[in-house]
Amino acid sequence: MFEVAQLGMKLSDKVYKEREKALRERLLALQFQLQSAKFSVVVVFAGVNAAGKSEMINQLNAWMDPRWLETHAYGAATEETRQRPPYWHYWRDLPAKGRMGLFLSSWYSQPVLDKVYARIDDASYQTSLMQIANFERALSDDGTLVLKFWMHLDRKAQKKRMNQLEKDPLTAWRVTDKDWENYHHYDDFIRAAETALHKTGTGQAPWLIVEGEDENYRSITVGEALADALEKQLQRQQYADKRHAESSVRLLTTQDVADNAPPAPSVHPLLASVDLTQSITPVEYKDQLAKLQARLGLLMQQAQDVGMTNVIVFEGWDAAGKGSAIRRITQALDARQFVVHPIAAPSDEELAHHYLWRFWRRLPRAGKVAIFDRSWYGRVLVERVEGFASESAWMRAYAEISDFEDELAAHGIVVTKFWLNISPEEQLRRFDERANVPWKQFKLTDDDWRNREKRPLYEQAVADMIERTSTHFAPWTLIAAEDKRFARIQILKTLIARLEEAFAQRDAV
């Protein structure tokens, strides 16, 4: 597939100068338009050593306004990154809407090199590539323009370039022993690259192969391709905005369907399966609580010692008792080990990114415990029901969320998710109670009453969520929360079981 990049393409200095001038003005103008657009641009540079990847990045920085460009290059993993799943630093570095990020030695480097040096087998390599494709799809689905340039040199040209670089004292530092070692694996590298380009070159995130030998040619080729893609995306967005303005009523589909649908059954069967009559006596509760908290505290201590991270998600009806259940967990832990993240409306920085960005940002270090009071599931609950997310956005979120949790689990993070279920009658009782206790009033908002009226819609959303995102690596546990004490005991028991299971698996390995 690289034959096209071995044609010896060249541009004379004269032609280059002419085209460069026009290109620069065009790029600057597009970059300015981008600033007020509602998408970001991710540009990946990969390819053969010495084919001009970093020169190209410098060139783009020189052509464009560096204030709206971000360059990210990744070296060896640091302490900070090793403690999180591999994609953590890429997510963290994603540009906000209106900005462009240039990525060098990105998510492609590790898998390709692992394959070249036979550190992973074929199946693992395919899995890594699929993960890349999923990651890039999540970005482009969110509106991000994803562009990928493969800078190419044939074996002979690479050797020539490396020799040239080595001879010049100003550039000699750029050719390392490792580079020569890679050079001797040229054929393996090309084979691995071919697979990577095949598996990850999609309509939404295409690869462009660029011949790297002639600097003039490669600069203009990359620059013009970038300008074309950016222009097209800006036009697409303008068109979409226009269409959206003309038919904004369409956004209400979920609501419309619901209004016209036959009356929903009073309780969705999945939720009806939770026996809400279960309870526990106060005496029994007190006794069990102390024992379970002691056990949980000890297990979490051990988890900290071995660097086993815990992510705990709480979702549930308003007033279902999430906050007080969380307190029963944190009471058992050392305050230095955990952090509780109450998830409310996103900040403006968060709104300018993919909706999962704010959760990637909050991933704990190895051995720590992150408790989410509401979570990324807002996408398929409140955002779905209230129409804040489009139908296609929340529909694809199930897969995006499972991918996300899969990455956590693959890194050894124990993910535990709770849905706290209560009946509408019990909810009403608790609302009334809150309304009557002065220092509990703040807990009750107009939203709470409004959400109550939409219970059937929410029940459907909850059932879909549990069905589609309960996986062996991140299972949902439905908690009967009509009796608060019973719920807390169940939650502690579930967490303990998850941890014991994780330790057993760890020992078995």
What residues make contact with a copy of itself under the rule CB under 8 A?
25, 28-29, 32, 35, 54, 57-58, 60-62, 65-71, 73, 78-80, 102, 104, 170, 298, 323, 326-327, 330-331, 334-336, 338-342, 347-349, 373, 439, 442
Amino acid at 415: V
Name, in order, each residue with C-beta under 8 angstroms of 107's C-beta and a sequence gap of 6 or more.
44, 86, 87, 90, 132, 135
Both tokens of 430, joined, read 């608790």
Name, in order, each residue with C-beta under 8 angstroms of 32's C-beta and a sequence gap of 6 or more.
65
CB nearer a copy of itself, residue 70 or residue 141: 70
CB nearer a copy of itself, residue 54 or residue 402: 54
CB 374 within 8 A of CB 315: yes
Cα–chain-centroid distance for residue 79?
A: 21
The DSSP secondary-structure symbol of 320 reads S
Provide the β-strand partners of residue 342.
373
Min. distance of Cβ 179 from a copy of itself in angstroms?
16
Strands 100-104 and 476-480, by their bridges, are unpaired
CB nearer a copy of itself, residue 18 or residue 65: 65
- Cα-based distances in Å from 288 to 279, 292, 321, 489, 508: 13, 6, 18, 7, 30
Cα three-residue angle 147-151-154, rounded to 5 degrees: 150
Residue with tokens 């139908």: 391
Burial class of residue 436, CB neighbours in 10 A (0-12, 13-18, 19+): exposed
CB nearer a copy of itself, residue 22 or residue 130: 22
Min. distance of Cβ 389 from a copy of itself in angstroms?
21
Min. distance of Cβ 32 from a copy of itself in angstroms?
5
For residue 224, give the nearest of 107, 339, 59 by alpha carbon: 59
3-state class (DSSP) for residue 185: coil
CB nearer a copy of itself, residue 263 or residue 282: 282
Q: In angstroms, rounded to a whole number, what is the distance separating the alpha carbons of residues 120 and 139?
A: 27
Min. distance of Cβ 339 from a copy of itself in angstroms?
7
CB nearer a copy of itself, residue 101 or residue 464: 101
CB nearer a copy of itself, residue 254 or residue 321: 321
CB 180 within 8 A of CB 156: no
Min. distance of Cβ 36 from a copy of itself in angstroms?
8
Min. distance of Cβ 250 from a copy of itself in angstroms?
30
Name the phi and psi angles at 308, rounded to 5. -85, 120
Q: In angstroms, rounded to a whole number, what is the distance separating the alpha carbons of residues 460 and 265?
A: 10
Both tokens of 17, joined, read 């100068």
Residue with tokens 């059937």: 456
Min. distance of Cβ 271 from a copy of itself in angstroms?
26
CB nearer a copy of itself, residue 91 or residue 394: 91
